[in-house]
Amino acid sequence: MVSDRSLVPSRQVGVQGSHTETTAPPSGGGQEQMSVPIRLKVEAPPFLHGDRLREDGSLQGAGGSPAEQQGDLRQSSFPALCCEAMVGDHYALSGDSPALLTQRSPKSTLSCKMVLQAVGKVLRKSKAKPNGKKAPPEERKQYLEPEYTKVRVVDLDLKELVVLPREIDLNEWLASNTTTFFNLINLQYSTISEFCTGDTCQAMTAYNTIYYWYDERGKKTKCTAPQYVDFVMSLVQKLVTDEDIFPTKYGKEFPSAFDTVVKKICRYLFHVLAHIYWAHFKETVTLELQGHLNTLYTHFIVFVREFNLVDPKETSIMDDLSEVLCTPLPAAQNHVTER
């Protein structure tokens, strides 16, 4: 005779939209142990503004009563994030021992809370740092077009010009070239200075970099491009005319930290060249001075590379141009402009 089989109360979890399964014991009256996967479908609340879930399911930090808070969650237009958790608990399924299921209900509630907390962490993290914004399109670099990069004013390998002669002292060679570059870059900038104003160049920029000025006390200042260039040229002028730093009289030695001063000057001069290319190359082409600018930039880059005067990370924003200009052109394509 087959005994009546009553449905064992299902394992009900206090989560809206949860999926439960009910399993009856097999016939024969014996008690069996079965592993029943319970599939939980959890609709996660939005967890706005870092709110936390209380023991009763309400949001800590939200206004109103717990019932009102839960009502707000149900009416929220935030897309519900549904996750499914497989709980592999072993239940004693029998018609005459429902107390065993009741004893395991706290564990069920704990598992559900762990799922909710994990979902909440994911939601808060994704809300704090949203991704998915498209990177801005890279701006067109006119100075990289072949019709401009092939224009030079000299037809020789500039690398041969920067090599230290055997009869010349290193510091003397650095001082002579640094002073020359200062005068040439200052002259090159003066050709477009009327286009570089506080309105057109509100910051000293080059590609995706903004240069800030640091005064003698180390105070960081954001200034317009013409102000920055004026600071650079005034500082370099002061240094190269100082007899204690750039001695010109016979028998007077250079300071021990002279190379540090030269590196500082070259770094600032590179900023000026980079800004001319990035912000004022169009005006330079209009004035038909791109050949002079290309030659000056190439000469400067091979010089600072020869003596390691500027950190490669500093000049990396112009590596594409440096690669093109520092590669000698074939004789048939080398367009030399004579002035």
pLDDT in tens, 285-327: 999 999 999 999 999 999 999 999 999 999 999 999 999 998 8
Tokens of 257: 């930290």
Which of these ranges, 156-160, 252-256, 328-332, has the smallest mean pLDDT? 328-332
Half-sphere exposure of residue 74, counting CA atoms within 13 Å on the CB side?
11
Distance CA 55, CA 174 (A): 73
Q: What is the DSSP letter of 24?
A: P
Rounded Cα gap, residues 11 and 37, in angstroms: 11
Residues facing residue 211 across a β-bridge = 204
8 Å CB contact between 29 and 51: no
Q: If you count them, how many residues does the chain have? A: 339
CA atoms of 146 and 238, how far apart (whole Å): 39
Domain boundaries, the chain: 32-128, 142-336
Report the distance separating Cα 129 and Cα 113, nearest Å.
Answer: 25
Domain 142-336 in CATH: superfamily? MOB kinase activator (1.20.140.30)
Sequence-ordered alpha helix ranges (H) in the chain: 66-75, 99-128, 146-149, 159-162, 170-190, 225-240, 258-286, 290-306, 312-315, 319-325
Q: pLDDT for 144-191, tens place per residue? A: 888 888 888 777 788 888 999 999 999 999 999 999 999 999 999 999
- The confidence score (pLDDT) of residue 326 equals 86
